[in-house]
Structure 1
Amino acid sequence: MFESWVNSTTDSVFYKMFDGKDFRYRFVNKVKADRFRTTPEEMFKKTNSDFMSAKDAEIAYEEDMRAYNGETINCIKKIVHIDGRVEFSSIVKSQWKDSRGNVFGILGTARDVTRQMEIEECMRTYFSETIHSLKTKYIGYQVLRLIANGRYGAIPNTVKTRLDGITCSFSDVENMLIEALARVKSLGFEEKKLGLDEAPVDVGLQIIDKVLSSFASEIEEKNIFIDNTYGSIPEKQVFLKINATALYSIFENLISNAIKYVQFGGVIAIGYIIKDGKIIFNVYNNGPGISEEFQRNGLFEKFQRDEGTQNLAEGTGIGLYHAKKMAELLGGSLIHEPTNDNHPNFLLTLPIIS
């Protein structure tokens, strides 16, 4: 039973024996060897120094010795491999004893949590930057609230009514941030909540329809035509095994941008094609083109906005940065490929996972 588990688990499993000087591998499963890009046979009787950077090998030795002396090690570590690869592992180590209770080494398991750490860092960065960009606005919001409440003297009822409306709008923004933070929590960083283990998502019904519905008033106000004549989403059903929250966030950013910059009576098109085992979504609008300079330098960077179009709509300049990062964490990519007549057209490529 143990051998079956060791060979079927996605976790690294290893035993090390202490020879009085160093800890040498006596057993590693294939998962452990694969992460070091070698074989179990090659790792036999070798030490961490053969597979890790000198600094990481020294840290691992200290942990091994603590485990050997009876301490249970349970931590997340950043590992730099000799070939330069960086991984994060959730590691547990403890004493390895014989049937008489004599300690002669350590046993351990490790789980690759690199993707979870990347997503956590991406979302943490996104919201810290969002809060930073809103900070000055909220200072003004608090002042307006004080004025509306008469702190600085009496004001006409018409002005008070207007200020009350403004403060209510800011209150709505607060609620939106609370909702967004709840969405981040729902994303989860456990392996079971990432990509492969998500139930199939109906992209049209569960993602695009919902995003469009959330912007219904803006679409109606600008008399925007949503064109689904090619690619046909949501006309045709497209199911993906993917994290729905992350995908929603990407489309929310792309469609929001399209609505902001398209002109009154304009067109937004959302479509897809399947090519080489991948699905490529496009979000197009017939608004002003993005300057070539900004396409090369700044389009997907933090706090960057195109000087040629920034006066057309408000924005923080971090939405596309966030969308691109999330696309990459889903194993895909996000690029801008303008149409022949230089209208904005974003392409989201994602793997099709069966």
Structure 2
Amino acid sequence: MIAVVAPRYGGSEVLRVEVAPLPVPGEREVMVRVRAASLCSGDLHLLNGTPYLLRLGFGLRRPKRPGIGQNLAGHVVAVGAQVTEFQVGDRVFGEIPGGAFAEYACAAVGALALVPDGLGMEEAAAIPDSGMTALQGLRDIGKVEPGQRVLINGASGGVGSFAVQIAKLLGAHVTAVCSTRHLEMVRGIGADVVIDYTADDFTRTDAPYDVVFDLAGNRSLREIRRALAPDGVFVSSAAAPGDHWFGPIRWLAAVALTDLFTRPTMKSLLMRPSATDLAHLADLAADGRLRPVLERQVPLIETPSAIAVFAQGHAAGKTVLTVAG
């Protein structure tokens, strides 16, 4: 099969498109013929090997597993001996530890859900990491309720574009913060108010927010608290700022410490993969209530150049890799 591999840590320049052996599913795994895959920030961390603390589990000097990519959608072509949840021919999607940027990949059954009728493979592949992060951040941590004022900081990216729509589905009044060039896109997915962060400061407001979902990590906790209602909730994504050694650990510790001494609730989010959440998001997308925003679609063999663009930031939705039949 054709696969994109990273034999060493680095940027997009270390990636290779190679002929690799087919993976073999374990007893509780299925092998998927990949039709589409999407990029996420986790791919960059695993590619770069940063924060360096991450290398304790993934390889000190070089990756233990050279295959990269975590979000995929495709058809089941083989099942492990103890698999009863899926059968050959099923359309599935989900998140795996690595190896999604290939013609075939293996996945644990608990990491997958069925792709419902009415949802394309490209749209399904865009959902897993970003969709579950947005859903769990707003529903589970933020506990968004109808009528609340919710602000999404970093609303145009992969997670942000899902968060705007999910907050609306939960009944909130949504204010979205993004750059000038993405204002119309964010309005188009349902934001009630859009703030251009290059021109306005969302932390200075006369009408504080019930929930602030921060995906950018570009404002201090003091500034964030200024934008929150006294009984509001701040939700910080795991993509918070950090250094090359420890990543966001210091930031997450600061959020937890601040929560102990302030009235607004300050929480960090670490998304937990859930087949139930995947199925829920897929149903929302299949019936048109949730629309994955696809910024670009490129062939699998162009993955290195796609990752180079993705690494520059300023995304408007998701980048999807398509795999030929």
Q: TM-score range by the shorter chain?
A: under 0.3
More helix by share: 1
Structure number with greater CO (CA < 8 Å, separation at least 6) is 2
With normalisation by structure 2, the TM-score equals 0.26
